[in-house]
Structure 1
Amino acid sequence: MNDSSNNANSKVTRKVSVAVIGAGTAGQNAFRQALKTTKNIVIINEGYWTTTCVAVGCMPSKLLIAAANRAHTSKYSEEFGIHSEVKINGKQVMARVQAERSHFESFVEKQVESWPADKKIDGRAYINKEGLIEVNDEIIEADKIIVATGSTPFVPDGWSDKLGETLITSDSVFDLSDLPDSMAVVGTGSVGLELAQAFSRLGVGVTSFNRENRVAGLIDNDINAKAIDCLSGDLTFNLGSKITEVGTKVDESDKLVAFIKYTDKDGEEGQWQGDYVLAATGRRNTIKSLGVENLGVELDDDNRPKNLDINTGQIGDLEVYVVGDANAHIPLLHVASDEGFSSGSMVCDKNTDAYIRPPSVPFSIVFSEPQIVNVGKTIPEIEQDPELEYVIGEVSFDNQGRSRVMGVNCGLLHIYGCKKTDSILGASMVGPDAEYIGHILANAITNNITVKKLLDAPFYHPTILEGLRSALRDVQHKMSIPYQSHDAQEDSF
C-alpha cells in the first residue's frame, strides 16, 4: 500500500498480505474467506467482536418485537371471544431480550475465539500519511486492506449534551433494565418504526416524530397512507413536524424528564415530555476517522469513496476494499455478508474464481405489524424512463379472505408491471405476510419470471398469498386494456 522509500518516519513492525479493519458481519466474512488462501493476514477491531445485527440490530429488535406481539395478541383477542387480563413485566421482557442476545453473541464469539490469536488485534486502526496502519504500538504494512468499520447511530448536533442520560439510540436501547413509562421516538424509518410499535405494544406511552409525513421511507403515496392508517391503532404519530428544541427539566414530581418542543404540520407549536428520547435518525459510517484520505481517497457527502465500485467494494485501482455499512451503500446484514465474502475472495493472489457480488434487486422489509416491503424499482425510478410503459396492479387486504379470518386484514399491495415485457419492475406493500410476498416478487425480478409465469404457479386456498395472485391478475388485466383502470377483485372464499 505504500512506497517503502517513504517509510523513513515509521518503523514497520509487521508486514501482511491482507489487513481487515473491523470485525462485524462484513469483516468476519472477509477474514474467513481470505484466510483460506493466505495465512499472512490480520484482523483489527475496536469494541465488541460480534456484529451490529447480533448486538444492537436485527436480533435484539426482533426479540423485543416478539414479546410485543405476544402482548398485543393476548390483549386484543376479544373479537375471537377470548378475554384475558395481561400483565407485562418490563424487567422480565428486557432480561429475556438481553439473555437471548447473549446466546446469539456466544456463537459469533466462539467463531472468533477459534481464530489464531496472533492474527487478531484489539484496538483502533488509523492509516497514516505513509499508507501504513497504526494500531496500539504497531505499524503494519499491508499489501491489501479491507475496510469493514461499520456504522454508528446518528444523533443530531447538541442532543447528547442537552438530553444527557435521557437520550438513547438503537445501540443503547436494548440495555434498558426495565420498560419506561414513556418515550419519544424520533424518526420513522425501519428501526424507529419497529421499536416504536414494539414499545407501544408493551405498554410504553410512545409518540413518533418525523419531519416528513411518511413512514418506513415509503415513496408510493397510497402505500404510505395505508401504512399510517394501519399503524395508527398502536402509535401516536406526529408526522410532518419540525423539532425546534430538546432538553431536560424536573417535572412536578421532582423527576428528571426529557422534553421536545416542535412545530406540527399545521404550524402549531407543541411540547412533549417523558422518560426517554430515542434518536432513530439513521446510522452513519465511520470511515472518515480511519484516515483513508492519506491513500488519496476522496469522500462524498455520505462519507463514501467517490470512485468506489459498489459491485466489488474496491476503491478505483487501489488494493483497498470498503464493505458492509462502511461503504454507506445498502446497510443490511445479508448485503454486508455478501460484500465481505466477495472482498475476501478478491484479495486472494489467485482470484480468478472469486465470487463477485452482482448488483442485487433492492429489497427491504420493515418488521412492523403489518409488515412493510419494498422490492425492485420505485415509481420515480420507473418514471425516469419515458419509454417505459407500466401499470400498477393492486389488491387491498382489508377484505382478503385469510387475512380477515386471522384478524390481520389491513393492508395494500401495489405491483409495478412492464407492459412491453410482462415483467415485474417493482412493488410496494403494507400488509400481513409481506415478508413472504416480498421474497416471491424479489425472486421473480431476479430470475426474470413474468407475470404470466407467476400466475401459472399454484396458490393454495385459503392463504394470505392469494392476495398476491389478485394483484398479479390486476397487473395482467391493466396491461391488456390501455388507458383504463381496474380495481382488483378480492379472493374467492
Structure 2
Amino acid sequence: MNKPSDTTTDNASHNITRHVSVAIIGAGTAGQNAFRQASKIKDDVVIINEGFWTTTCIAVGCMPSKLLIAAADRAHDANNSSEFGVHATAKIDGKQVMQRVRDERSHFASYIKKQVDSWPDHKKIDGRARINEHGLIEVNDEIISAEQIIVATGSSPFIPDGWADKLGDTMLTSNSVFELTDLPKSMAVVGAGAIGLELAQAFTRLGVEVTLLNRVKQVAGLKDEDINHKAIDCLSSELTMHLGSTINNVGTTSDSGNTSAFIEYEDSAGTSQRWQGEYVLVATGRRNNIKQLGVENLGVELDDKNRPKDLSKKTGQIGDLDIYIVGDANANIPLLHVASDEGYSAGNMVCENTENAYIRPPAPPFSIVFCSPQIVNIGMSLPEIQDDSELEFVIGSVSFDNQGRSRVMGVNCGLLHIYGCKKTDRILGASMVGPDAEYIGHILATAITNDLCIKQLLDTPFYHPTILEGLRTALRDVQDKMKIPYQSQDTQEDNF
C-alpha cells in the first residue's frame, strides 16, 4: 500500500514535530469511533479537530431538530383536537421552546464531552488541519507525519453563491437556527428536503408564518411520483408550499429601522412573486468539508462534487492507499449510524484488526424524514428498479386514508408502495408517506437485510388494531400480484 508518510524520507528537512501511526482529522461521530477503536491497539494515535468536539447530530442536526419537532407536535395536538371533542388553544412560549432545545442539546452533548475529556491531552489537537504537498499534516505549529490517516471532517450547510452577503443576519442555516432565542414571526424555508420539511412544519406548528420554496415539484427527494404526490397532498393541509419555483434574487430591505429579508421568485406558473419576512432558512443540503484539506496531496482524487473516487463503501478506504475517508466527509450516506459504522470499521482497519472491521452486513439504503406524516425510503428506488431490464417487479400498495387504527388516531393520510421481485419473492425496496412510517421502514429494512421473502413476513403476527396492519395489506397486495398462493384472509380487518 501507499502510505501518507511514504512521500517523504527526510524528516528533518520538513521540520516534522511528531510521527504517529494513525492521525484522525475530525472529531464527529465517525472520527470519535475511529479514535476509540484505533487507540485500543495503537498507542501513538492523534485526533485533530477544529470547532466543537461533539457530533453534527447532537450540535446542529437530528437531536435539536427532534427537540423542536417534539414541542411542535405538542402544540399541534392541542390546537387540532376539536374532532375528538377536545377544545383547546396552545399558548406557546417561544423563548422557553428554544431554551429547552438548547438545554436538552447540552445534556446530550455532555456525554460526548465527558468522553472526550477522558482522552489524554497529548492525543488531542484543537486546530485546523491541512495536508501539505509532502503528505504531512500541518496544524497550529506542528507538522505531523502519519503512517495512516482517517479523514472524518463532516459536512456544512450549502449556501448558494452570494446569499450570505445579500441576506446577512437574516439568513439562517441548520447550523444557526437553533441559536434563536425566541420564535420569529415569519420565515421562508428554501429547500424541501429532510431538513427543510422538518423545520418548516415544526416552526409552522409553533405559530411561525412559514413559506416553503423548492426548485422542483418534489418533497423529501421522493422518486416514486405517486408517493410524492400523496406527500404533497398530506403536507399541504398545514404547510404553505411553493414547489417548482425559481428564485431570482434575495436580499434585505429596511423600513423604519427594521431590517427584513426578501425573496424574488417565479412560481410554477411562471408568475413573478415576492416574499418578505423576518428570516430566510437556507436548507439546500449539506456538502462535505474536504475541499480545503489538501487530500489530493495524498493521492486522493475528487469528482466535481468533492466526493472521493475509488471509495470503499464498506471501510471508507481510498483504493489501496492508507487513507480512509469516513462519515459525512465521503458524501456517501450522510447519516449518523452510517458514520458510526464507517468510523468503527476504519479504526479497526488501520490497525489491521480486520476481524472487527465489518460489524454488520451491508445495509440497504434507508432514510426517514420526521415530518408528519413521516416519509421513508428503503432499498432500491422505483426508477432504479425500472431501469434494470432484468428485474420483474410488482408494486404492492396500501392507502392509509381509511386504515382502521390510523383513522381512530386521526392521522389517516398516507400511502405505502412495496416493490417486490417476482423471480425471488423478495422485497427490492419501498417508499412511504404515512403514520408510523419509521417503524414500518425498520421492518422492511430488516426484511431486505436478512433476505426474508414475502411469505415469511406475512407469517409474522400483526396485532389488531395497529397501524402496522397496513403493512400487511401492502404485502398481501405484493403477493397477489406475484400470483403466489397463500391462505386468503379478509383484509377488511385492517380497516375495522
- Provide TM-score, normalisation by structure 1: 0.97
Contact 1:223 1:412 in 2 (8 A): yes
Matches within 5 A, 1:394-405: 394-405=397-408
- In structure 1, give the amino acid aligned to 2:168: G
**Alignment deviations for residues 351-408 of structure 1 (CA, whole Å, 9 cap, x no partner):** 3443366432000000000000000111111112212111111010010000000000
1:102, distance to aligned residue in structure 2 (A): 0.6
- Taking a change above 3 Å as real, the CA distance of residues 385 and 298 of structure 1, as seen in their structure-2 partners, is same
- The partner residue of 1:194 within 177, 198, 204 is 198
Secondary structure of the corresponding residue to residue 297 of structure 1: coil
In structure 1, the partner of 2:487 is none
Call closer, same or farther: CA 1:438–1:492 in 2, change over 3 Å.
Answer: same
**Contact 1:125–1:135 under 8 Å retained in 2:** yes
Q: Which residue of 2 aligns with 1:48?
A: 52
Deviations for 1:309-368, whole angstroms, at most 9, x for unmatched residues? 121111111111000000000000000000000000001144344336643200000000
Tell me which residue corresponds to 1:282: 285
1:391 aligns with 2:389: no
Amino acid across the alignment from 2:120: P
What residue identity is the alignment partner of 2:65?
S
Counting aligned pairs with the same residue, the percent is: 72
Find the counterpart in structure 1 of residue 415 from structure 2. Answer: 412
Q: Match of 2:299? A: 296
Name the SS for the 2:292 alignment partner: helix
User: CA–CA distance in 1 between the matches of 2:272 and 2:228?
Assistant: 25
Residue 339 (1) aligns with residue 362 (2) = no
Aligned partner letter, 2:74: R
Aligned-partner Cα distance in 1 for 2:493–2:76: 27
- Candidates 250, 255, 260, aligned match of 2:258: 255
Query: Contact between 2:79 and 2:88, CA under 8 Å: does it hold in 1?
Result: yes
Q: Which amino acid aligns with 2:151?
A: V
* Pairwise CA distance, 1:158: 0.1
Q: CA deviation at 1:421?
A: 1.1
- Check the 8 A contact 1:250/1:256 in 2, yes or no: yes
- 1:485 maps to which residue? none
Aligned to 1:484: none
Residue 337 (structure 2) pairs with residue 315 (structure 1):
no
Counterparts of 1:358-437 in structure 2, within 5 Å, are 358-437=361-440
Amino acid at match of 1:267: G
Return the letter of the residue paired with 1:264. Answer: D
Q: Which residue of 2 aligns with 1:157?
A: 161
- Aligned position for 2:477: 474
Q: How does 1:135-284 map to 2 (within 5 A)?
A: 135-251=139-255, 253-284=256-287
Asked if the contact 2:314–2:358 (Cα under 8 Å) also holds between the matched residues in 1, the reply is no
Name whichever of 383-392 and 136-145 sits farther off: 383-392
CA contact (8 A) 2:212 2:241 kept: yes
Q: Which moved more, 1:381-390 or 1:36-45?
A: 381-390
C-alpha displacement of 1:5: 3.0
Q: CA deviation at 1:118?
A: 0.8
**Whole-angstrom CA distance in 2 between matches of 1:15 and 1:375:** 44
- RMSD value, Cα: 1.3
Question: Could you tell me how far apart the structure 1 residues matched to 2:264 and 2:471 are?
Answer: 43
2:124 pairs with 1:115: no
- Assess, with a 3 A threshold, how the Cα gap between structure 1 residues 217 and 9 changes in structure 2: closer, same or farther: same
The residue aligned with 1:36 is 40
Is the contact between residue 302 and residue 328 of structure 1 (CA under 8 Å) also seen in structure 2?
Answer: no
Number of matched residues?
Answer: 486
Instruction: Give the whole-Å Cα distance in 1 for the aligned partners of 2:230 and 2:471.
Output: 17
Cα distance in 1 between the residues matched to 2:118 and 2:423: 54
Task: Assess, with a 3 A threshold, how the Cα gap between structure 1 residues 250 and 353 changes in structure 2: closer, same or farther.
Answer: closer
Change (3 A) 1:489 1:245: farther
Aligned mates of 1:14, 1:60 — CA distance in 2:
38
Q: Structure 1's 56 and 31: CA in aligned 2 closer, same or farther, altered over 3 A?
A: same
Cα offset for 1:193? 0.3
How far 1:64 sits from its partner (Å)? 0.0
Question: What is the letter of the counterpart of residue 143 of structure 1?
Answer: E
Unaligned runs of 5+ in 2: 485-490
- Which whole-Å CA distance do the structure 2 matches of 1:233 and 1:386 have between them? 39
Bigger drift between 8-17 and 354-363 goes to 354-363
The separation in 1 between residues aligned to 2:269 and 2:402, in whole angstroms, is 34
User: What is the CA–CA distance in structure 1 between the aligned matches of 2:176 and 2:421, rounded to whole Å?
Assistant: 45
More off after superposition, 287-296 vs 176-185: 287-296
Q: Give the Cα–Cα distance (whole angstroms) in 1 for the partners of residues 235 and 5 of structure 2.
A: 55
Distance across 2 between alignment mates of 1:163 and 1:36: 48
Bigger mean CA offset, 190-199 vs 5-14: 5-14
CA–CA separation in structure 2 for the residues paired with 1:396 and 1:489: 13
- TM-score, normalised by the number of residues in structure 2: 0.96
